[in-house]
Structure formats: C-alpha cells, structure tokens
Amino acid sequence: MNLRSLVPLRDRGSAARTNSGVFGSLQREVDRLFDDFARGFSGLALPGDGELVPRMDVGETDNQIEISLEMPGLERKDVDISLDDNVLTIRGEKKIEKQDEDKNKNKNYHVVERGYGVFYRALQLPPGIDPSQIQATMSNGVLKITIPKPAQSEAKKIEVKDETTQEARQAA
C-alpha cells in the first residue's frame, strides 16, 4: 500500500475558499497540518524534529544489493559513505546557498520549505561484504550504491561413523 494514498490533500485550486463559522479556523488548522505532513514525502524530508532524512530504496538481485537515495541539490563532495562492522553509513550535508547580498537585501520570503543541515542513514548489511567491491555513483541528485553479495557458503554433509570401526582402524 502506498502511504501517499493515505494522506488527504486539499484541492489546491480552492485557495480562495473561505471557511466561516465556528469550525472555520479549526478546518484551516487541520488543512495546514495535513499539508505539512504531506510536504515531507519528497526529496530530503524534514520529520517532526527537523532532521534531514534522504528518501531511500533498497533492493537486491541474486548477486548484489542496490541502494538508491534521493539527494536533491547535493554533489558528490557533499556525501560520505563508510562501512564499519557490517554497517553502511551514508552521511551528507546540505548547505545553505550563498547568494549575492546586494540582490537579496530587500527580499521578503513568503514561503520557506527547503531544509538544510547534516543527515545520515545507516543500514545493517550481511556479514562478509568486501568494502573494496562497493561502488557508488551520483547523478542528477540520486546516489546509487551497488554492493556485491558475499559468496554463500555451501552446506557440507558430515558423515557419522561408528565408534567401534574408528577404534579398530587406530589399533591396526
């Protein structure tokens, strides 16, 4: 089930709608809360505590684990990936854009929704991953990490022998 289908979104075309009466302000507040909740479903989201969390897809094939993270507005130099004790950690920082102060001196913002700051995601990987085989690429704000799976150990059948036969061989 898609979580987005559970989020009621207002009709954007009815911005001029006025809710009058006793429940008008309550309706506007509820609408605002749902808008704030729904806004967190794209790119780098800001959960309730203000922490940036990149959206991630994790999949696998027979031979590898594939991870994709949305990181709009970031470049390769803004992201750090490490593997320690089978935990893959992806860290990054989205910095505030520096703009020409003279141009923006008289700018009044009406809506500010973009988030900035440090983020990280950590994933527990299966044992036996070779860190030198992990590959990461970034293109158009999407980080893709490919992790080859370790070779599966084959089950080996161990024969159970009769103890008396074993003792007879050792005596001979």
Buried b (16+ CB within 10 A) or exposed e, 133-142: ebeeebeeee
If phi > 0 it is left, if psi is from -120 to 50 it is alpha, else beta; for residue 128 that is left
Beta bridge partners of 119: 92
Output the domain CATH number for residue 140. Answer: 2.60.40.790
16-43: pLDDT as tens digits: 455 556 677 777 777 777 766 655 544 5
Confidence at residue 54, expressed as pLDDT on a 0 to 100 scale: 85
Q: Which two tokens stand for residue 159?
A: 């024969």
pTM value > 0.75 = no
- Only one residue has tokens 């044992």, namely 127
Task: Report if residue 29 sits inside a domain.
Answer: no
Q: How many domains does the chain have?
A: 1
> In terms of DSSP bridges, do strands 142-148 and 79-84 run parallel, antiparallel, or are they unpaired?
unpaired
Residue 65: closest CA among 2, 155, 128, 1: 128
49, part of any domain: no
CA 136 to chain CA mean position, Å: 15
- Domain housing 119: 55-105+112-151
Question: What's the average model confidence in pLDDT over 87-100?
Answer: 81
- Token pair, residue 149, equals 């799976």
Q: Is residue 22 part of a domain?
A: no
Does the residue 80 lie in any domain? yes
74 CB burial (10 A radius; 0-12, 13-18, 19+): buried
Helix (H, G, I), strand (E, B) or coil at 11: coil
In a domain? residue 169: no
| Residue 27 counted as domain residue | no
What does the pLDDT look like over 108-141, one tens digit per residue?
777 777 777 888 889 998 888 888 999 999 999 8
Q: Is residue 97 part of a domain?
A: yes
Asked if the structure places residue 36 within a domain, the reply is: no
